[in-house]
Amino acid sequence: MGNVFDALFAPGWTDYRKRAYHNTYDVTKLIQSSENAIAA
């Protein structure tokens, strides 16, 4: 699992006719008891 803040242009170029790569991130430590928002 990578660092969500270092994820510029990740996972890189993909030939979608063959594969669709994806990355996952554990953001548990970033969640606060106040309002939170996640965007993609």
Task: Determine the pLDDT at residue 39.
Answer: 75
Taking the chain (40 residues) in runs of 10, the rounded mean pLDDT of each run is: 63 79 80 81
Task: Determine the pLDDT at residue 23.
Answer: 76
pTM score above 0.85: no
- For residue 19, report the phi and psi dihedrals to the nearest 5 degrees: -150, 155
**Residues 26 and 38: beta-carbon distance below 8 Å:** no
Task: Determine the pLDDT at residue 35.
Answer: 86
Q: What share of the chain is helix, strand, coil (3-state, %, to 5)?
A: 15, 0, 85
Residue 6: CA count within 13 A, CB half-sphere: 3
Task: Determine the pLDDT at residue 6.
Answer: 66
